[in-house]
Amino acid sequence: MRRFNVPLEHREKINLIVVFIVLLILIGGLAKLQIIEHAGLARQSENNRIRVAPIIPRRGVVVDREGRLIIDNRPSYTVSVVPAEISPDTTLPNLSHLLELDTLQIKEQIHKNMVNRYLPAPVKRDVSFETVAVLEEQSTRYPGVATQVEQVRQYQKGIGAESFTGYVGELSRADLLKEGRDDYRPGSMVGKEGLEKQYDRQLRGQEGTAYKEVSAAGRYLGDYEGKEPVPAVEGADLVLTIDIDLQRICAQVLDTFCCGAVLALDPRNGEVLAMTSYPGYNANIFSSVMPESLWQAISSDSTHPLLNRPLNGLYPPGSIVKFVTIGAALQQGIINENKTLRPCTGGFKYGNRVFRCWNPQGHGSLTAAHALEQSCDVFTYQLGLELGVDGLSWYFSRCGFGRPTGIDLSGESPGLVPSSAYYNKNYGEGQWTPALALNISIGQGELLVTPLQLAQFFCGLANDGIVYQPHIIKLISYTSGKVDTVSSRVSFTLPFSPSTLKVLWEGMRLVVEGKHGTARFLKNERYSLGGKTGTAENPHGENHSWFVGVAPLEAPEIVVCAIVENAGHGSDVAAPVVGKIIARYMEKKSKPAEVALRSAKELQ
């Protein structure tokens, strides 16, 4: 036992050694952190306190051809939540009560829009000033809630422009993953439809980056001075080919009907002067969180306000496309400008079936131009039979039907031009009758067109067969000073010779100016006008009423195409609609000052 007893001087030494070892361990620990791991830990310390905050650029504005605002931005209040700072027991219930959203919706919003726990996630945009005042006054009841001023989109109301403006909405986390867009964050406002979608990259500009110093609680203390912020690049402004004066009258003339669409194009360059889909919707509502009930109401509305009719409305074109059939027959030498066919007695017997003309009294013997004037079905049936399904199909395709026009707006429908291949596929080889050609020849049957395709076709007729690419953007003006001008370019040429076009041109003239013209009431002394009526039979209800007008006829500047759904004859409904629009155009041309003054008043 004795040998384990330690003498005092040894104990003193051992004690000093213990002190020394403790000191060495601590110095070792210090050196490890402060020398070896210094660089990494210093970086962590910087990361701790610096948060990257996006600087949201101003979204570009959209103006009409004369610089009048169609889409603007206005400041609004956004209520956001900093997820790291909320107190679950008080924040959500109180906020739910104030914003009239249930807590589940708020949670969804936070989840959807959260970037990280320390950055505010927008919950509701465009709240009233009263709401903000409550939040500021009673801030203790709303821990973790922040209000910010953000720019929201403001769409010019009452001009039915949604069909091309589209709208913006919040980008959800799911969309972000799906589309793989790394320049966006959840909760960013992005274009969902129309121009807003098609030109989203140009309109939105480039986000900047601010470096903010934060406390451990995530509270923003101000700008971090060690790093220069990267400024945002503001979005580009768009100048459209649209003329608001014309746009407004388009929206107004459809106002008394259920549904329809109007398009005005300049045949000389393909510029879209006006375009509206009726009924429209208020694009402003999409900028904020939309209540589920409102969304339900809009999407289940039987008048389909979200359907963009000029681009996506698929209709049988009716008699309007007699221009294609008769043009094809002239071109093929089946008829010439003076040749008359078997006289119309109100019907045409083919096989054991009688195909009737719209006029049961019959039209008698007609030349091509007069057949167009009176829209004689029997005349056209005979040509359709001669041309056959594939002959018609070839000419329809060459006239721009059955494929998108390529307008600079997204989501255009191609329409449908049936061919024998199509019928073989759908009905079986040889299981269909050539009489289907009769239906196609007068724009019925499977043939489906969009209003834009019809307008484009008439632009070609009005412009010596040359079809310009329809477009709605005139120029894009970047903040850098760069301006992209969209130049007009030829899209295709109609498959008609000048002599054929001359006959068709005469047909257009006679529809308005002829003694028996189906739209003769549009005739006036001030300017010459041509066009074609169409009455499309609709298996689901009343006929669709079509009219395409061209003015002034000797040197066409405008083509207006209108469809009014379930409204009856083309001459009764759509023709007066187009007449009013063309009248406004011609009025503006002759008295620009007066129209401009009136327009300025209405815009207020």
Partner 1 sequence: MTLNYRELDWELIGSVLMLSLIGILLIMSAQYYADSAFERTYFERQLLWLTIAVFVFAGVIHLPLRLLDFSAYLLYGLSIVLLVLVLLVGTPRMGASRWFSFGPINFAPSDFAKLALVLALSRFFAYTKLPPVSKRRLAFSAMLTIIPVALIIKQPDMGTALVFFIILFGLWFWGGLSPVYLALILSPLVSLVAASHWLAWAVYFAVLLVFLFLFRPGFLFGVVMVVANLAFGMITPFVWNRLADYQKLRILTFLDPGRDPRGAGYQIIQSKIAIGSGGIWGKGLLHGSQTRLDFLPERHTDFVFSVLGEEFGLWGSLLVLLLFAFIFYRAVRIAARCRSRFASNLIIGAAAILLFQFFVNIGMTLGFMPVTGLALPFVSYGGTSLVLSWSLIGLIVSAHYHWQEY
Binding site for partner 1 (CB under 8 A): 1, 4-6, 8-9, 11-12, 14-16, 18-20, 22-23, 25-27, 29-35, 37-38, 40-42, 44-46, 48-49, 213-217, 221
Closer Cβ to partner 1, 38 or 349, answer by number:
38
DSSP 139: G
Closer Cβ to partner 1, 217 or 593, answer by number:
217
Closest of 431, 421, 430 to residue 390, by C-alpha: 421
Q: How near is the Cβ of 262 to partner 1 at its closest, in Å?
A: 60
Assigned token pair, 291: 């209540």
Assigned token pair, 284: 């402003």
Closer Cβ to partner 1, 14 or 600, answer by number:
14
Which position has the token pair 């009136």? 598
Give the C-alpha separation, 191 to 194, whole Å: 8
Closer Cβ to partner 1, 224 or 278, answer by number:
224
Q: How near is the Cβ of 16 to partner 1 at its closest, in Å?
A: 5
Assigned token pair, 144: 């973790």
Yes or no: say if 378 and 396 are a contact pair by the CB < 8 Å rule: no
Closer Cβ to partner 1, 19 or 421, answer by number:
19
Which position has the token pair 């003076």? 338
Closer Cβ to partner 1, 12 or 554, answer by number:
12
Closer Cβ to partner 1, 20 or 295, answer by number:
20
Closest of 160, 197, 185 to residue 70, by C-alpha: 160
Q: How near is the Cβ of 49 to partner 1 at its closest, in Å?
A: 5
Helix-then-strand count for the chain, H and E: 21, 21
Q: What angle do CA 146, 148, 153 make, to 5 degrees?
A: 140
Q: How near is the Cβ of 51 to partner 1 at its closest, in Å?
A: 11
Q: Exposed e or buried b for every residue in 282-310, given b needs 16+ CB within 10 A?
A: ebebbbbbeeeeeeeebeeeeebbebbbb
Angle at which helix 91-99 crosses helix 103-113, to 10 degrees, equals 100
Closer Cβ to partner 1, 35 or 593, answer by number:
35
Taking only Cα atoms into account, the Rg of the chain, rounded to an integer number of angstroms, comes to: 34
Residue 43 class from Cβ within 10 Å (0-12 exposed, 13-18 middle, 19+ buried)? exposed
Q: How near is the Cβ of 118 to partner 1 at its closest, in Å?
A: 12
Yes or no: say if 273 and 549 are a contact pair by the CB < 8 Å rule: no
Closer Cβ to partner 1, 149 or 217, answer by number:
217
Q: How near is the Cβ of 42 to partner 1 at its closest, in Å?
A: 4
Closer Cβ to partner 1, 5 or 480, answer by number:
5
Closer Cβ to partner 1, 86 or 563, answer by number:
86
Q: How near is the Cβ of 24 to partner 1 at its closest, in Å?
A: 10
Q: How near is the Cβ of 28 to partner 1 at its closest, in Å?
A: 9
- Label residue 509 left, alpha or beta by phi (over 0 means left) and psi (-120 to 50 means alpha): alpha
The amino acid occupying position 80 is S
Q: How near is the Cβ of 263 to partner 1 at its closest, in Å?
A: 59
Give the C-alpha separation, 295 to 291, whole Å: 7
Q: How near is the Cβ of 146 to partner 1 at its closest, in Å?
A: 18
Closest of 520, 584, 532 to residue 561, by C-alpha: 532
Closest of 144, 155, 88 to residue 118, by C-alpha: 144
Closer Cβ to partner 1, 46 or 554, answer by number:
46
Q: How near is the Cβ of 94 to partner 1 at its closest, in Å?
A: 23
Yes or no: say if 534 and 320 are a contact pair by the CB < 8 Å rule: yes
Q: How near is the Cβ of 93 to partner 1 at its closest, in Å?
A: 25
Yes or no: say if 106 and 195 are a contact pair by the CB < 8 Å rule: no
Strands of the sheet with 220-223, listed across from one edge: 50-55, 208-214, 220-223
